[in-house]
Chains A and B, each alone.
Chain A
Amino acid sequence: DTGVSQDPRHKITKRGQNVTFRCDPISEHNRLYWYRQTLGQGPEFLTYFQNEAQLEKSRLLSDRFSAERPKGSFSTLEIQRTEQGDSAMYLCASSPSALTGQPEETQYFGPGTRLLVL
């Protein structure tokens, strides 16, 4: 069973550096989501894609953040000029297409990428 995978699992970087995270969704899931989670809080929505189209972005996603899903499969999330406030767990989730007969509302999460900005 191949669930959602994320790489890397951990990233330590210095303030001002750029970082990029990768997410591979469950095969044939056409929706892909990015969330951010800080300690003691629930995940906060950042953005989501349906196939390669980015359909919604949260106002949490500042100009330093960019997400792509160029071929409708894996996705990348890049943070430019990292700040200490970017330290968090970055979670990726995917959900199936309604055409599969599965409920498209059911989002399945990956293990997350834990970012620490020094």
Chain B
Amino acid sequence: QKEVEQDPGPLSVPEGAIVSLNCTYSNSAFQYFMWYRQYSRKGPELLMYTYSSGNKEDGRFTAQVDKSSKYISLFIRDSQPSDSATYLCAKGALAGGTSYGKLTFGQGTILTVHP
């Protein structure tokens, strides 16, 4: 079993829709979670990060972590064609308040928002 599992999609939605992107993970000791957006042939761009269960909101983006079910989600409200990209979830490990450094990524979900 992979440490982080992510449905590769592709996911296609109309402009203005609410998008839900999801990942599951294993090995849940002292985790933190990241969401990255990657446009074609570019490096990943950090969108959001969270340490604990619950929701974190930033503009049109909401990251949600459910540690009891080992499930992380990213919601995009009022989706735009410019949101079309691959979305990557990742997890890292903390020890004594310091991160181990390594991020483990999911496969990425390809999202297309059409006008």
Complex Cα spacing A35 to B36, Å:
14
Given A40-B8, A42-B6, A107-B103, also A114-B41 (CB < 8 A)? yes
The interface on chain A, measured as residues whose beta carbon lies within 8 A of the other chain's beta carbons, has a size of 28
Query: In the bound complex, what is the Cα–Cα distance between A18 and B94 (angstroms)?
Result: 36
Q: Does B102 contact A (CB under 8 A)?
A: yes
Binding site for A on B (CB under 8 A): 4, 6, 8, 32, 34, 36, 41-46, 49, 88, 90, 92, 94, 98-108
| Prevailing SS type, chain B contact patch | strand
Q: Residue on A with the closest CB to B89? A: A42
* A45–B103 touching, CB < 8 Å: yes
Most buried by A among B45, B101, B106: B101
Measured CA separation A103–B49 after assembly (Å)? 10
Which single residue of chain B is at the shortest CB-CB distance from A42?
A: B105
Bound complex: CA of A86 vs CA of B107, how far in Å?
Answer: 19
Contact of A105 with B92 in the complex, beta carbons under 8 Å: yes
Which residues of the other chain, A, contact B99 by a CB distance below 8 angstroms? 104-105
Collect the chain B residues with CB atoms within 8 Å of residue A105's CB. Answer: 32, 34, 49, 92, 94, 99
In the bound complex, residues from chain A placing their C-beta under 8 Å from that of B94 are 105
Mark contacts of A54-92 with chain B using CB atoms, 8 A cut-off: 1 yes-contact digit, 0 otherwise: 011010000000000000000000000000000000010
Q: B residues within 8 A CB of A35?
A: 103
